[in-house]
Structure 1
């Protein structure tokens, strides 16, 4: 005579198996997501200015801008619509709207301000390095998941979001920290936001893409 397993016991076994499966999934996710975040960042990628080869730009900051934030303005010509280029090769992880766009356009440069970064792009360069490109004129020319090469155009300079004039707001991040931007192997010179100041740099974003 065969004795069956009571239904209550079978139910408990099923619940235990499901629980163990859920724990295994959570542990796998933790290994995939958390462990890479605990690794120290790798060496700095060979970043270049995010603007066209040979052009000279003014890099500026001001009180309240936040340490290491860089605002880029051309020293010659109009800023509106100028190409914004990837500083280094990587994968696009954000491409869309940050905050609210506002209403500043080339036709209405004094329109209402928006909030945040407006149209923006974030590129992950591997080894926990990222760059951010804010206040773009129009929707980005790239999408999340796209692979980009150094010098590839990702957008156009505008004044969307919380922006007073057309420019490119740019940041470099190492791990979870914003750091002083380096271009062509040299520090940008934009560090603290204690006072308003600027420096000029010429773009070398023209070497063969890597």
Structure 2
């Protein structure tokens, strides 16, 4: 009778080979999933509304160096500090926290040192590879990651955290992770390039 002798070294080599195969398979699967996500065409544009209270008229604008398709919101009446920020459309919160650093600009100290980035912010996934972002909020967001929100639901309050010179809302719409021109109530805002200062006034139809 013949016996097969397996040494510890052979078993160890076999385990290493199996682990390498599993790791390679995992990488292949991850790349395939990523490719499907990236290559999947975006769905139709949601009917986004202004992220501010129903019936209010706000100034939307940009300035040189701001960033293409970025929009800043300023109220035309009342104190901007603490005004409600609303979800532009139904979706799921994917980020609710701090982007960069907060700085120290508050209603009691509006000229305090700036922070970096967007300060307190929220990002909402609306499906079909569409998302919106809301930056420079006054305080920690009123929503949590994973939470479902409805259009018009309050997600935060206007502030000046992060790299911000005055209380306002920095807002973006993204399609497949790429910033695009903002549309509200089915109409383009007209704010695209940041090679010049540009402002418009729009009235919110974000009514529940």
* TM bucket, shorter chain: over 0.9
Q: Which residue of 1 aligns with 2:4?
A: 4
Structure 2 unmatched runs, 5+: none
Q: Which residue of 2 aligns with 1:60?
A: 61
Q: Which residue of 1 aligns with 2:177?
A: 176
CA distance in 2, matches of 1:35, 1:3: 50
The list of structure 1 runs, each at least 4 consecutive aligned residues, that deviate by more than 4 angstroms after superposition, is none
SS of the equivalent of 1:171 reads: strand
What is the number of equivalent residue pairs in this alignment? 207
User: CA-to-partner distance for each residue in 1:15-50, whole Å, 9 max, x for gaps?
Assistant: 222222222222222233342122121111111100
Q: Which residue of 2 aligns with 1:192?
A: 193
CA distance in 2, matches of 1:58, 1:86: 18
Structure 1 unmatched runs, 5+: none
User: CA-to-partner distance for each residue in 1:98-156, whole Å, 9 max, x for gaps?
Assistant: 11111111111111111111111111111111111000000011111111111111100
| Residue 2 of structure 1: how far off its partner (Å) | 4.5
Superposition TM-score, scaled by structure 2 size:
0.94
CA distance in 2, matches of 1:105, 1:126: 34
Q: Which residue of 1 aligns with 2:149?
A: 148
| Residue 6 of structure 1: how far off its partner (Å) | 2.4
Q: How does 1:113-128 map to 2 (within 5 A)?
A: 113-128=114-129
Structure 1 stretch displaced more, 194-203 or 7-16: 7-16
Q: How does 1:2-151 map to 2 (within 5 A)?
A: 2-7=2-7, 8-151=9-152
CA root-mean-square deviation: 1.4
CA distance in 2, matches of 1:14, 1:66: 52
Q: Which residue of 1 aligns with 2:158?
A: 157
CA distance in 1, matches of 2:76, 2:194: 21
User: CA-to-partner distance for each residue in 1:1-22, whole Å, 9 max, x for gaps?
Assistant: 3512422433332222222222
